[in-house]
Amino acid sequence: MNIIILGKGYVGNHLFNTLSEHSGRYGERPNVQIFSKEELDYTDETCLMEEINVMDDTYIINCSGFTGRPNVDEGENKKEECWKYNVQVPLNLNKVCNETGAEIIHITSGCIYTGYEKEWEEDDTPNFGIYSNEASFYSKSKHAFETLSDTGLHLRIRMPFCDTMHERSVLTKIYNYDNLVDTINSKTYIPELCNFIQHYIKEGYKGYETIHFVNKEPISTKEIVEKMKAAGIENPNWKWKEMDQLGMKANRSNCILDTTRLEQQYNFNISSEYTALDRALEKMTS
């Protein structure tokens, strides 16, 4: 079995470490490779075809994309780049996989919904994407890709966090922000995401599907802050603000995603956000 991870970012590196340590479908150790765009230009179809054409039983995991630094406001400033890496490149990856027979897994975003009127299910029409005048360009690009794509597994994640103070973890962002807004949002515990992808590949799942991969029972920012304080992780400059006081260029998604499909269709026991957060903070401070 061959696994190619595209993107050496936050999720990609965690995933490489997990998949490299676990056995594959038949007990063997899979051949896991990870590439940055500089090492393998996955924006070039020919370059990618040459890499995967000689491999059988191949999964490609797309962990690349435009997220914006320091935040999604950057998508408003770099719309062409945002569209290229969130729409054009993943669609080209689909084309290559269709032509070579490789399976593809896209790490994408649940930031295409907003509002608390329900827990959003995978088949709900996004209300914070291309049909919304209020949506950020980042969210529009994520929805546009899903609208045009009919290949592979789409894993929608939100506000990822892990067991370290990684710069891309939502816990690190909360710690570094002086001004906080109290919202409730679904979040993704990266170690469990990696375990699910390992489970998905090992069980031989294939085909076109969309799954919300977030932790159950999301908690508020204030609850997270209290847990961080109890663990000895505290920013003395923290102040609570309203969203409209932050001067953001792009609107933000605030929502809760449903995890029924993940648990029932794929027989995966996802933990609550309380449990995942406690586990992360314990490892961070041990």
The answer to the question of residue 75 being in a domain is yes
Domain that holds residue 25: 2-161+188-215+255-270
The answer to the question of residue 246 being in a domain is no
The answer to the question of residue 283 being in a domain is no
pLDDT at 27: 65
The answer to the question of residue 178 being in a domain is no
Please report which confidence band the pLDDT of residue 218 belongs to, taking 50, 70 and 90 as the band edges: very high
pLDDT at 28: 74
pLDDT at 25: 63
The answer to the question of residue 16 being in a domain is yes
pLDDT at 24: 62
Give the Cα separation of 51 and 49 in Å (integer): 5
pLDDT at 69: 84
pLDDT at 97: 93
Would you say residue 66 has pLDDT above 80? yes
**Tens digit of each residue's pLDDT (9 = 90 or more) over 14-61:** 999 999 987 666 567 889 999 999 999 988 988 888 877 666 689 999
The answer to the question of residue 138 being in a domain is yes
Domain count, the chain: 1
The answer to the question of residue 176 being in a domain is no
Whole-prediction pTM: 0.95
Would you say residue 136 has pLDDT above 70? yes
CATH number for the domain spanning 26: value is 3.40.50.720
The answer to the question of residue 169 being in a domain is no
Task: Specify the amino acid at residue 211.
Answer: I
